[in-house]
Amino acid sequence: SSTRPRVLVARRLFPEITERLSAHFEVDAYAGVAPLSPSELVARLQGCAGVLVTGTERIDAALLEACPALRAVCSMAVGYNNIDVAACTARRVLVSNAPGVLTETTADFGFALMMATARRISESEHWLRAGQWKQWSYDLFAGSDVHGATLGILGMGRIGQAIARRGALGFGMSVAYHNRSRLPPADEAAVSARYVDLPELLRIADHLVIVVPYTPQTHHLIGAAELALMKPTATLTNIARGGVVDDRALAEALKLRRIAAAGLDVFEGEPQVHPDLLTVPNVVLTPHIASASLPTRRAMAELAATNLVAALTGAQPPTALNPEVLAPAA
Ligand code: 8YV
């Protein structure tokens, strides 16, 4: 009936998600491939009580101001730097993210990207496709070893720990990490990782993998000064957010071989990629697909839908970031 709450699914998603939400809500399922612009998003959100978003749509105080009916913002991403949670809480708008369901898939990809980077897989394939393979040579695309090397993990949350396990158990790596807070000893032992400060991590890592959330504190955490601490043989892999690394400084370090290579799934200002990164050969570039296995993308969307249904039907959303907004007002 027309009294059911209206919700917007802001991205083209699995039809099952729309169907499931339709059991509870009037659903406006955006079907375009290009994301809604900020003004289009505001226009489509008029009268909506909830919205299902990804890690891209900017949800800030201005949008909330312009969409007074909004009660729930449910994201299918684990990273929520696109959402001003404090502004949502101030307006009693429930926010949820999608932790857990993408951990192993994203760790798989982080490991794959690190390995592709260390072993120069993309670079060598481009060369082969260009018809340049004429003979074997001892140093043909010789890279660095992953097994037995020192794995440096920046950010030791769920995904960082899943990468640490892969490195320690599967590849015999020595695992060091830096995080804003040190893990409890039992958790450190479970992933066979030792805590070091950031300069030390940069100095010792053969392969550095970045998996920190993007916050004002992590903006350009890795810039020219940090890259200068790394080994010239080291690789850097970023599956966090582009803004954690200063892409211009990284491109420069790659060009001058201050580090050996980089693997990047995320970029400052994506889908734009810094032009200098497109011209250096020693970088593997992928279009923000670390969580993109079909089962995982489905689980992410399902979790966001579950949160949305709960938030608007008086139940407890399983992965709310500000559950206090649902508490009865004192
Ligand atoms: C998403 C991500 O693909 O979960 C995250 O934080 O960056 C990716 O898994 C993207 O944000 C769409 O939700």
β-pairing verdict for 261-264 and 283-285: parallel
Query: Of all atoms in ligand 1, which is nearest to the CA of residue 54?
Result: 13
Q: Which of 165, 270, 298, 302 is catalytic?
A: 270
Mind listing the pLDDT tens digit for each residue in 261-295? 999 999 999 999 999 999 999 999 999 999 999 99
Mind listing the pLDDT tens digit for each residue in 166-208? 999 999 999 999 999 999 999 999 999 999 999 999 999 999 9
Which amino acid appears at position 188 of this protein? E
Q: Is residue 152 lining ligand 1, measured as CB closer than 6 Å?
A: no
Backbone angles phi, psi at 249, to 5 degrees: -65, -35
Q: How confident is the model at residue 222 (pLDDT cuts 50, 70, 90)?
A: very high
Assess whether the region 6-99+294-326 and the region 103-285 belong to the same CATH fold: yes
Question: For this structure, is 270 an active site residue?
Answer: yes
- What is the DSSP annotation of 226-276? HHTTS-TT-EEEE-S-GGGB-HHHHHHHHHTTSSSEEEES--TTTTS--HH
CATH topology of domain 6-99+294-326: Rossmann fold (3.40.50)
CB neighbour list of residue 40: distance below 8 Å, 6 or more residues apart: none
Question: For this structure, is 241 an active site residue?
Answer: yes
The CATH classification number of 103-285 equals 3.40.50.720
Q: Is residue 102 lining ligand 1, measured as CB closer than 6 Å?
A: yes
Q: Which of 241, 258, 274, 297 is catalytic?
A: 241
The answer on pLDDT for 2 being more than 80 is no
The residue ranges of every structural domain in the chain are 6-99+294-326, 103-285
- The pTM of this model reads 0.97
For residue 325, give the nearest of 43, 153, 161, 86 by alpha carbon: 86
Residue 133 C-alpha to ligand 1 middle, in angstroms? 37
Q: Is residue 78 lining ligand 1, measured as CB closer than 6 Å?
A: yes
Q: Which two tokens stand for residue 293?
A: 């296995």
Residue 55 C-alpha to ligand 1 middle, in angstroms? 5
Mind listing the pLDDT tens digit for each residue in 107-116? 999 999 999 9
